[in-house]
Structure 1
């Protein structure tokens, strides 16, 4: 392991400690309140929402698969991959910021349209991240890994710790993780972003809130994706 890889190893360890810490009181209270609200929603509604999110995500995965340059990082060192990842994250943050400002300024109808648009941006970004670190998204297991990275970024304490364990032991876990728990996937994501996205619908501040929230959500996803893939690269460099 060279000097840069040792540095990355320490950074990944710090990141793992940070994301496994207990959330603050406000986040825990919000999650508890959202859990009660979810309990009041009829089961049929949960089923419809879950199937809708599942279809939306699968469509987005297919589109991202078709448009991602899978050879963009051939021959690059880990340091060069991290630098490319930083540039890619900044570019997607800018895209998400513009999209959030535009839909936030458009009132309730465009604010609601922000959900699928932002989801598409995030999934496309994760395909780019997989490509940068040399993993082949033609393989089903790698597309499944992308969904787990997404869930790691946008979930509650308990689910985040569970998902991190799956990511840390991916070569073993992928044999039994045949399909996503789509109910958990959609509820965790909606609960995570609900507060910020609801404020985006408020007239007068929607554009600012939309831009700020989307920028931070992509920044957080970028950090999560980079370190999730670093974990795998440091264990076993992928074949290109």
Structure 2
């Protein structure tokens, strides 16, 4: 593929420090996201059962995604071709090849994907923003699907396979991280650190028994911002902005957390070679 890893341990350590600084900057939820939970307590009582049922389906689909990948699995070839646009056959595009790709190239492709997906989310948010509360039944499942898609594509960028259940668990944790408060973020970072240190899936799967909370938190994070979608015309603007920022946040979390994993693994490899 014409690319080889040329990173020094010092460079990787410096980049890891940048990620750790980003983790420290993940403060509490914005004020509007905090109070966003209050209107939804009211909306739950007002929302027609058919809409509640559709939102419930999104929760069930997330469970199916964790178990099997369901309808949300992406094709890795689409992402791999971004690394090797001149590849002539699928045999030239293997996920394990990315282990030799420099991290900055991985970052470049991940950022390209983030930009592309936020544009799609913006259009989708503007479209569903017209109907306010009633199109929320469409908006949440679609946005959930976009979020899972962009996280899987970012996983592939850094050489990880979302067809593996352990990676799907990691992806759901990234999704949960993006909409959690500071306490939740801290707990998730500790869980992911534990995963990297080899305490693997049993503990993580146990913690994900409450995975329904991921969609509940995800839904609540819309909060009163979604109420503005009930205003004619303005709803399109708010819908576009909300979905754009949501996918942007999810993609940023996925990029930083997967980048950290790749850098830590390369530092370990560097240490092993030097011994």
TM range (shorter): 0.7 to 0.9
2:219 aligned with 1:190: yes
Structure 1 residues 193, 108: CA separation in 2 closer, same or farther (over 3 Å shift)?
A: closer
Counterpart of 1:174 in structure 2 is 201
Partner SS for 2:203: coil
**Kept in 1: contact 2:36–2:222 (CA 8 A):** no
1:200 aligns with 2:229: yes
Residue 34 and residue 210 in structure 1: after superposition, are their counterparts in 2 closer, same or farther (change >3 A)?
Answer: closer
For residues 19-168 of structure 1, what are the structure 2 equivalents within 5 Å? 19=26, 21-31=27-37, 33=38, 37=41, 52-58=57-63, 61-69=69-77, 72=80, 74=98, 75-106=100-131, 108-168=133-193
* C-alpha displacement of 1:70: 7.6
Instruction: Give 1:235 deviation, angstroms.
Output: 1.6
Structure 1: 5+ residue stretches without partners: none
Local SS of the residue matching 1:81? helix
Deviates more, 1:158-167 or 1:204-213: 158-167
1:50 to partner: Cα distance: 8.4
- CA distance 1:24–1:216, change in 2 (3 Å): closer
Question: 1: distance between equivalents of 2:36 and 2:142?
Answer: 25
Residue aligned with 1:136, SS = coil
Moved more, 175-184 or 200-209: 175-184
For residues 138-185 of structure 1, the C-alpha deviation after alignment (integer angstroms, 9 at most, x for no partner) is 211111110001000012232222112111221315231225212322
Deviations 1:44-82 (A, max 9, x none): x9x978863332224564223253438715342101000
Which 10-residue stretch deviates more, 62-71 or 177-186?
A: 62-71
Alpha-carbon separation, structure 1, partners of 2:125 and 2:234: 12
Query: Does the 8 Å contact 1:141/1:174 carry over to 2?
Result: yes
Map of 1:11 onto structure 2:
18
> What is the count of residue pairs matched by the alignment?
231
What is the TM-score with the length of structure 1 in the denominator? 0.82
Provide the C-alpha distance between the structure 1 equivalents of 2:249 and 2:258, rounded to a whole number of angstroms. 14
- Select the structure of larger CA radius of gyration: 2
Q: Please, which moves more after superposition, 133-142 or 187-196?
A: 187-196
RMSD value, Cα: 3.0
The residue number in structure 2 matching 1:215 is 244
Q: Give ranges in structure 2 of 5+ residues lacking alignment.
A: 1-7, 84-97, 270-275
